[in-house]
Amino acid sequence: MIKFVTTEINGLTLRGTAHVPDGEPGQQFPTVLMFHGFGAVRDEGFRLFIQMSNRLMENGIAAVRFDFGCHGESDGEFEDFTFSQELNEGSALIDAVKSMSFVDSTKFSLLGESLGSVAASIVAGKRSTELTSLCMWSPAASFLDEILNDHTLQGKTVDNVEKDGYFDFYGLKLGKAFFDDLKNINIFDNAKKYQGPVKIVYGTNDFIPEKYSHKYMDGYENGELVIVQDGDHGWQSVPSRKRILDETMKFFRKTLLEAK
């Protein structure tokens, strides 16, 4: 069953989709909460999260994916978005989803894509005892270095933000608050507070340097890094997409269904 779900966080209504396996009335299922990428939506590019959600549902695992605030169908304007907001929402979504009637809150994992992977890693560090496992696709942990050190975002200068008051992100205004907020973000020290099972899947054609995935691995004692030849950031080829879906399904089958 696929159904529309909503929750309110800090005055914003977040809108999402839940994929729930068939079962008995009142049955609860292991669940994966998905965090989409920066400027993206809960479907992810070319149905990526939809495909993963369907795979999970077919294997007896529920999948829930929300548009973060200021993204997609959720409330808020992109101009007002900050990464700290995403982290706060990510943590609150754990509570909201765990309270849903079909969710087994004792078997609950996170999956992120791109910047959503970074958010998932930090939220996992903050909620380390409440999660079963964490999977990250194409973690975009380079964004702090790009913005704070290189003064660029996806290859474009951010030096005009102070004067203009916003950054032109594919036709959307990204406000100055986003950039001011980044001095408060520490990715890897927070991420390593989670020491449960972790799987990172990275493609060799990703524009995010591979070294950031290895930096994550340096902090994880129970981590696995899978390098996919010719995989790009959004997994936009049939072979690479099949590989990431298969690798992720294998991980969640092991951590959510087979683990005692």
Domains of the chain: 2-258 (3.40.50.1820)
Q: Is the whole-model pTM more than 0.85?
A: yes
Query: Any binding-site annotation on 89?
Result: no
| Rounded average pLDDT over 136-148 | 97
What is the amino acid identity at position 78? F
Average pLDDT over residues 232-253: 98
Is the pLDDT confidence value at 157 over 80?
yes
Structure tokens at 119: 């958010």
pLDDT level of residue 154 (50, 70, 90 thresholds): confident
pLDDT tens profile 14-29: 999 999 999 999 999 9
Q: Is 8 within any annotated ligand binding site?
A: yes
Give the contacts of 218 (CB within 8 A, at least 6 positions apart).
Answer: none
The full DSSP string for 115-184 is HHHHHHHHHHHHTGGG-SEEEEES--TTHHIIIIIS-EETTEE-TTHHHHSEEEETTEEEEHHHHHHGGG
Q: What are phi and psi of 72, to 5 degrees?
A: 55, -130
Percent of the chain beyond pLDDT 70? 100
Backbone angles phi, psi at 206, to 5 degrees: -70, 140
Q: Give start and end residues of each alpha helix (H) in the chain.
A: 48-58, 83-98, 115-126, 143-144, 161-164, 176-181, 187-191, 211-219, 238-252
pLDDT-derived band at 156, boundaries 50, 70, 90: very high
255: confidence class by pLDDT, cuts 50, 70, 90:
very high
Mean pLDDT throughout 191-210?
A: 98
pLDDT at 182 over 80: yes
Residue 164 marked in a binding site: no
User: What phi-psi label fits residue 235: left (phi over 0), alpha (psi between -120 and 50 degrees) or beta?
Assistant: left
Phi, psi of 177 (to 5 degrees): -60, -35
**Identity of the amino acid at 106:** T
CB 244 within 8 A of CB 45: no
pLDDT(204) > 80? yes
Predicted local confidence at residue 259, as pLDDT: 77
Q: Are 237 and 213 in contact (CB under 8 A)?
A: no
Whether the per-residue pLDDT at 113 is higher than 90: the answer is yes
- Annotation-wise, does 13 bind a ligand? yes
| Tokens representing residue 127 in the block | 């909620």
Question: Tell me, what's the pLDDT at 128?
Answer: 95
